[in-house]
Structure 1
Amino acid sequence: MTTHNDDRQATSLVSRCDATICRYNEDTQCVAGQIEVSMSGQMAQCLTFTPQDDASDSQRPGQSTHS
């Protein structure tokens, strides 16, 4: 995740999303208006992950974000 800071507001950009069954993933780009990310061990975990309507929970990948 890349963060750009200025005096007004911090803006974050997800550079790549590997959760291909997430409804917000379009060609490895996150199109969600905003996301929430937490750390799980040494990995970032996207808490905004929402599976596509045709995806089952058994197909749910490790929800990580990469910068």
Structure 2
Amino acid sequence: MSPQRWQKSSYCQEGDACVHISTKATCTTIHLTESADPTQAVLTAAPAAFGALLDVLKAPERP
């Protein structure tokens, strides 16, 4: 099994706490983690749920 590869958010500045994302080639789950979290907890989401989250975050007015 290959190691999980993480990609840092493009909105991250040097030295900031950053969100990292990872997925497998099958893209059945999205994994998120935050670099400043000492427990290195990983949030797992379905692609549709992650897409909905991004839509809300990109919306001009949030609910």
**Interval of TM-score (by shorter of Structure 1 and Structure 2):** under 0.3
Structure that is richer in helix per residue: 2
TM-score by length of structure 1 reads 0.24
- The answer to which structure, 1 or 2, has the higher relative contact order (CA under 8 A, 6+ apart) is 1
